[in-house]
Structure 1
């Protein structure tokens, strides 16, 4: 398992490993330097970084464009929400298709549809089309967002099969995601305000198209169709959603999404109420910095505790810190708590993604990763809506109750169903309802 960092001997490279696969020595201490020296890693990391920027640019680009053309933040938020919900609902099916037919087969038509839909949405907004027309264009725009992050994680799984560097790779991807969500909105905002209100969405579509095509061209590093365990060869396909542990992780990641969404709204309302709206970006930046910092640290630690135990401890810390946000009434106190909340998120995300390796058959991992990514997006969309209603109906800062409620409910689910996150010895796990009582091999 990924949490075992001091194995007695180096694992053998699987006989059916894809050509060029490089598994670093298991006896070496995990580290970012060793991870980035993995043969062939940069061939998918660089185009992948460009192709995942649209994921963070899309929402803010739609909000700024639609607000400019309609003069309504409500209409802008509604159009962005339709895109977000569409992405969250369709992403897992994109992952499932990638597992069954290959990432390239899904990416090529997907990025073309996304670019065309995004440009259509842009043209409709500039033409002053009615809101329902924007909704119609927003659905395929969100549904076709390229799921580059899950695909990169699946490629790491191929490269690092059986290596303790899997935990480091999960940490690296978490930090990359956070960096994306820092850079993406900044670039989109700068383009929309300094160049043209439509520049953000046009650039987003271009990056998705060019980056996605370059990523899809890296065929040597993509996972084998059907996985390495032969599911495809037997004509079988195990849906990740049918595995109990994945469903537990989905609830866990919904709670994480509630933190992102609730804090975005509540921080904006709090800074507005004290007459310092400019502090919103500063406070959210502190929160994001805590997330990135803890992600870097987690990837550098040689963990010996089981990932199930780490997830329980980390999520308990997240729920406790998030529960104190609503009581903070000063900028300094809120900044300190926000930093702590951010520092608790990355370990939970990293450990959740690490658990997928032991819970899910190789032929369903991209789908599993997209379910988790979609859960964060869906939790964020719901949290934004609920937090906005709380801020409108109650006191300034009432939106901070959303992160508390979301994480506490998710923690209760995690504690009650923690046994479903336990993998069988030898890297095997049972998926209830899949093959009845036959264990589903995962490596």
Structure 2
């Protein structure tokens, strides 16, 4: 009698992920092109403060840039899904380079504040959304693969690397070379890296504009019952689960923004202003460590349950920040808080793949990153006002409030995070490809 041997599936680790065919062709230029994401805000603040002498004015210009990014990035993502990433990215990085150059020239020329606001809008609107585009390429190449969770973790670690290295590089350039050097480097990296990334057309997802209607959801044979027609994809925000995830990512952005401002006030109150960078670095290190671990674990729990668990822990830790008054204790609390951020980010990005059709994934990812940017901009303003009026402890109430409200939304609307079979079939019915081996 013949026996059947079941082969145990291999562990979906980083080595297997990075052996995905042609992955390095978009990862390397993508790393260079997304590095400026962590440089733009601090470069604007340092330059405008130097030329105007006002941190308030510098913060407002930076906030205008962040809000513009949050509002316009999803529209760029939708265009990228429809017409292709390269078609959107090339004019985008050209506009971005011109806009940041205009900010630098206006600031150095002593232009009025309103002129800087005018230049800040296109600078923020044209920030190249390389992270969402890389995630969309992973989702396209790893359709229904367990490596998607590993890819989400890998991208989270890459994002944290950007958030840590970018501000340090920008600060060193602005203070050691020239006040506008940070913006110049940001614009140059965005332009060169963005163009190199856009040149990798073979790995970008197929534009929805080129997907004909009438493909069979079973075999993709293209059998038609009527004339072939172009698909007009719906917005990713029409998916209820994406709206719920956007609220969750808004809360994560509140943590980032609230930590940046309130940590500065906390360090000054403690009489150790130089420890601010160390404490934020510990927080970011916790995020990176958790992201690396999440990508190496084979999870048995459903993603939406993992998100609730991780976000609950994040809200709990964020609720303790206001009560900490010791630098060593804050280092420990900040590390644990960082460990809670990455699982929530990674799981949220992982949920996009089953919830959103391939024709709208880049837009979905940009809604999430835009929500982080919007939460960060709002928290910087709110925490700054509270810290100025009532001290650093009051500033830390902003991350607590943002995460608690977001967790309550997640808990109440948790059913929206689970793709229904009928919705999944509809999502994959157009242009669906059968999963292929990546290793």
- TM-score after normalising by structure 2: 0.91
For the 8 Å contact 2:76–2:88, the answer to whether it is kept is yes
Instruction: Identify which of 143, 161, 169 aligns with 2:143.
Output: 161
Distance 1:79 1:231 in 2: 45
Residue 117 to residue 30, structure 1, CA distance change in 2 (3 Å): same
Matches within 5 A, 1:164-175: 164-175=146-157
Residue 357 in structure 1 maps to residue 339 in structure 2? no
2:24 to 32, 42, 65: 42
- Kept in 1: contact 2:209–2:232 (CA 8 A): no
Q: Which residue among 271, 274, 278 is the counterpart of 1:278?
A: 274
Counterpart Cα distance in 1 of 2:18 and 2:120: 37
- 2:180 maps to 1:198: yes
Q: Of residues 413, 420, 427 in structure 2, which corresponds to 1:424?
A: 420
| Pair 1:121–1:9, CA change in 2 (3 A) | farther
Cα pair distance change 1:163/1:228, threshold 3 Å: farther
* Residue among 392, 400, 405 paired with 1:404: 400
Question: In the alignment, what sits opposite 2:104?
Answer: 122
Give the TM-score normalised by structure 1: 0.90
Match of 1:441 among 428, 432, 435: 428
Q: 1:276 to 1:345 in 2, by over 3 A?
A: same
* Equivalent position of 2:261 in the other structure: 265
Correspondence list, 1:362-401, <5 A = 362-401=358-397
Q: How far did 1:54 drift?
A: 1.2
Match of 1:314 among 288, 291, 310: 310
Q: Distance in 2 between matches of 1:261 and 1:224?
A: 35
> Residue 206 of structure 2 aligns to a residue in which SS?
coil
Consecutive unaligned residues in structure 2, runs of 5 or more: 215-228, 433-439
Separation in 1 of the partners of 2:210 and 2:351?
A: 18
Q: Is the partner of 1:85 in helix, strand or coil?
A: helix
| Contact 1:231/1:237, CA 8 A, preserved across alignment | no
Shift of the alpha carbon at 1:227?
Answer: 8.3
Q: Match for 1:66 among 48, 66, 86?
A: 48
- What do residues 195-254 of structure 1 show as CA deviations (whole Å, max 9, x unaligned)? 100100011000000000000000100000018985696422121001100000000000
1:15 alignment partner in structure 2: none
Q: Which residue of 2 aligns with 1:435?
A: none
1:348 counterpart residue number:
344
**Please, which runs of 5 or more residues in structure 1 have no aligned partner?**
1-7, 11-25, 431-437
Instruction: Report the RMSD for the aligned CA atoms in angstroms.
Output: 1.8
Q: Write the deviation string for residues 295-342 of structure 1: whole angstroms up to 9, x where unpaired.
A: 000000011111011000000000011101111110111111111110
Distance in 1 (alpha carbons) for counterparts of 2:144 and 2:123:
37
Describe the SS at the equivalent of 2:39: helix
Aligned counterpart in structure 2 of residue 186 of structure 1, from 160, 168, 181:
168
Question: Equivalent of 1:210, from 174, 180, 192?
Answer: 192
| Aligned pairs, number | 412
Alpha-carbon displacement from aligned partner over 1:46-88 (angstroms, at most 9, x marks no partner)? 0000000111100000001111111111111111111111011
What is the aligned partner in structure 1 of residue 334 from structure 2? 338
* C-alpha displacement of 1:9: 8.7
Contact 2:270 2:327 in 1 (8 A): no
What's the counterpart of residue 294 of structure 1?
290
| 2-structure distance, mates of 1:343, 1:286 | 10
2:211–2:230 Cα contact (<8 Å) kept: no
